[in-house]
Amino acid sequence: MDAEVVDDGVNCRRMTDEHETRQTAWDRFIDALDRAGQAGSAADVELPRLAPDLPIGKRFGDLTRVDVENLSRFATSLGRRTDVVTVLWQDMDRKRKAQAKAAKSKR
């Protein structure tokens, strides 16, 4: 029997626990983004440990477009909506660019 298909109860439970832990971490992250956004800006919310290919500890406002795409893929893997982080990040990016443009035109 392949190691991948062995269900001895322990490995199956470990995978389920890990998936639930990732879902919980995701839900807490989204809640933190929501609270911070309602308070004015979600830029300072740090990315928790969600997956090895994500920039753990990086501020949401410092994420790159590629980071957000990877975050969206992660959301999809959990069966969660991807538009939450994508739209929030795009709005922040637009505001940041508008502020930079306004500051540049004042010079």
- Rounded CA separation 84/30 (Å): 8
Q: Is residue 86 part of a domain?
A: yes
Q: Is residue 2 part of a domain?
A: no
Model confidence band, residue 65 (pLDDT cutoffs 50, 70, 90):
very high
Provide the percentage of residues in the chain whose pLDDT is more than 90.
Answer: 56
- Rounded CA separation 13/51 (Å): 19
Q: How far is CA 34 from CA 12, 13, 84, 87, 95, in A?
A: 33, 31, 9, 12, 17
* Least trusted range by pLDDT, from 2-11, 64-73, 76-85, 87-96: 2-11
Range of the domain at 67: 10-106
Written as six digits, the tokens of 8 are 């001895």
Q: Which residues contact 22 (CB under 8 A, 6 or more apart)?
A: 50, 51, 78
The yes-or-no verdict on residue 10 having pLDDT over 80 is no
- Rounded CA separation 105/99 (Å): 10
DSSP type of residue 9: S
Q: What is the mean pLDDT of residues 60-77?
A: 95
Q: What is the mean pLDDT of residues 35-48?
A: 92
The pLDDT score that the predictor gives to residue 98 is 87
| Entry pTM | 0.75
Q: Is residue 1 part of a domain?
A: no
Please tell me the total count of domains within the chain.
Answer: 1
The pLDDT score that the predictor gives to residue 11 is 52
Q: Is residue 3 part of a domain?
A: no
Q: What is the mean pLDDT of residues 73-90?
A: 92
The pLDDT score that the predictor gives to residue 19 is 60
Q: Is residue 45 part of a domain?
A: yes
